[in-house]
Amino acid sequence: MEGGENRVDVIRRVIDAEIPVAGHIGLTPQSLNVMGGYKVQGKTLSAVEQLMRDAVALDRAGVACIYLEDSARIGAMITAEVETPTIALEPARLRWPVLVFQRSG
């Protein structure tokens, strides 16, 4: 489900109904019209901070995983902050279209 802080109430209700949710932040294709088209997210400090707040909100809501469409650098920072498994989708920069981050320790 696309969205972070702005969708956390809906996400919690879905999870409370025993339906697993995969969170999705960063470039969210279903929200293209709202975002003004395909635009790289997380280019400014405030945008990175918002992605971090969104990830933490999804983590606290209890999502099964978090899909990130952003840079691997931001994905690594988010992965370090949340307990939820993160999956970075950045086909333009990766040799393979999906990069899975796993928190160690």
- Residues labelled catalytic: 69
What's the rounded Cα separation, in Å, for the pair 62 and 28? 20
The angle, 0 to 180 degrees and rounded to 10, between the axes of the packed helices 45-61 and 72-81 is 40
